[in-house]
Amino acid sequence: MFGLQIRYLSFFLGIVSVLSFFNIIYSYYLNLYLNLDTYFYTLIFSFILFIIFYIFGNNKIKPNIFDKILTIFLGYLLIPLILSIPFYFSIYNFTFLNSFFESISGFTSTGFTILENVKLIDQSLILWRSSTQWIGGLYFLFSIIYLIDIYDDSFKKTLTNFTSLNSSESLKQAIKIFLLYSSLTIIIFILLNIFSIRTFDSLNLALTIISSGGFLPSNDLSSIIKENSQIILFSLLILLSFFSLFFTYNLIFLKKKNINFFYEDLHLVVYLIIVTSIFFLFFSFNYDFSNNLLAITSSMSNIGFSLESDQQNLNFIYLILVIIGGSFFSTSSGLRFIKIYSLLKFSLNQILSFSRPKNVFMNKLIFTKINFNLDEINRYFLTVIVFILSLFILTSLLSLSGIDFIRSFKLSILTLMNTVNSSIYGLDNFDFNNLQSFTKYCLIFFMIIGRIELLTILLLIKKFLFKN
* Structural domain range at position 452: 306-465
Residue 61 to residue 333: CA distance in whole angstroms: 32
What is the tens place of the pLDDT at every residue in 446-466?
A: 999 888 876 566 666 655 555
- Measure the N-to-C terminal CA separation of the chain; round to a whole number of Å: 17
Q: Per residue in 401-417, pLDDT tens?
A: 999 999 999 999 999 99
- In a domain, residue 52? The reply is no
Assess if residue 428 is contained within a domain: yes
Q: What is the pLDDT of residues 383-407, one digit of tens each?
A: 888 889 999 999 999 999 999 999 9
| Residue 377 falls inside a structural domain | yes
Q: Report the distance separating Cα 111 and Cα 415, nearest Å.
A: 9
Note the pLDDT of residue 202.
Answer: 95
Does residue 256 lie within any of the structural domains?
A: no
What is the predicted pLDDT for the residue at 78? 95
Q: 219 in the Ramachandran plot: left (φ > 0), alpha (ψ -120 to 50) or beta?
A: alpha
Tens of pLDDT, residues 296-352: 999 999 998 888 666 677 888 899 999 998 887 788 888 888 888 888 888 777 777
Global pTM reads 0.91
| In-domain check, residue 399 | yes
pLDDT of residue 463: 59
Asked if 392 and 422 count as a contact pair (C-beta separation under 8 A), the reply is no
Q: Is the pLDDT of residue 58 over 80?
A: no
How long, in residues, is the chain?
Answer: 468
| Residue 119 in domain | no
Residue 370: which of 342, 405, 408, 329 has the closest Cα? 342
Residue 120 above 60 pLDDT?
Answer: yes
- Percentage of the chain beyond pLDDT 70 is 81
Distances (CA, A) of 235 to 277, 297, 298, 306: 16, 6, 7, 10
Q: pLDDT digits over 227-269, tens only?
A: 889 999 999 999 988 887 877 777 776 666 666 666 777 888 8
Model pLDDT, residue 386: 85
Residue 300 lies in a domain: no
- Mean pLDDT to the nearest integer, 284-295: 77
Q: Where are the alpha helices (DSSP H) in 147-221?
A: 153-160, 168-194, 199-209
Q: Give exposure, 105-123, as e/b (b: 16+ Cβ within 10 Å).
A: bbbbbbbbbbbeebeebbe
Answer yes or no: are the C-beta atoms of 50 and 14 closer than 8 Å: yes
Q: Sign of torsion, CA 222 224 230 231?
A: negative
On whether residue 90 sits in a domain, the answer given is: no
For the beta carbon of residue 169, count every other beta carbon within 10 angstroms.
12
Give the per-residue pLDDT at 335: 87
| Structural domain count of the chain | 1
